Amino acid sequence: MKLVPYLFPILLFSSFQEKDNTRTINYNGEEVKVIYQVDDKFYGTYKGRKSGFLDLKKDGSGQYKYDIFAFALPDCKPGPITLIWGMLMDEKGEPVRFEREYGFSYPILYQATSENGFQGCRKKVLLDL
C-alpha cells in the first residue's frame, strides 16, 4: 500500500485525536485542563424537576436546559445550551473528587458553544462543584 505523503500528517493527527481524552477550557482567565472520557456511569441525561436536563456525551459534548429560565439578559433566548464539558483532573490525570456525606462529587467545567450561555447568558463557562 502506498501512502500519499500529504495524507500522513492527517492520519497522524486523527489517530492522536481519538486517543486524547482531555481538553483545555479557559475559566476566569486561567487555562484549565479537563478530562471528558471517564467512567461510563457519568454519561447520559440527568433530569431536572420540571423540563430541565443535563446531557453529557462520551465525546465531551452535551446540552443543558434550566428548569426555570429567569433573570436573563434581554437578548438571551430560552432553550438548551449546547456545550463542551470536562471533569477537573489531578496530577495523575484522574478526575478530581471530593468526599461528601452522600458520597463523592466530581467538579465539572461546562463551556457553552451556542449563542446562549449560563446564568441568563452572563457566563460562557460554568464550574459545577
- Residue ranges of alpha helices (H) inside the chain are 7-19, 118-121
Q: Is residue 11 part of a domain?
A: no
Number of structural domains in the chain: 1
In tens, the pLDDT along 36-77 reads 999 999 999 999 889 999 999 999 999 999 888 888 899 998
Q: Is residue 1 part of a domain?
A: no
Q: Is residue 112 part of a domain?
A: yes
H or E segment and range at residue 88: strand 81-88
* Distance, C-alpha 53 to centroid of its chain: 14
In tens, the pLDDT along 60-70 reads 999 999 888 88
pTM of structure: 0.80
Give the mean pLDDT of 22-39: 96
Q: Is residue 72 part of a domain?
A: yes
119 in the Ramachandran plot: left (φ > 0), alpha (ψ -120 to 50) or beta? Answer: left
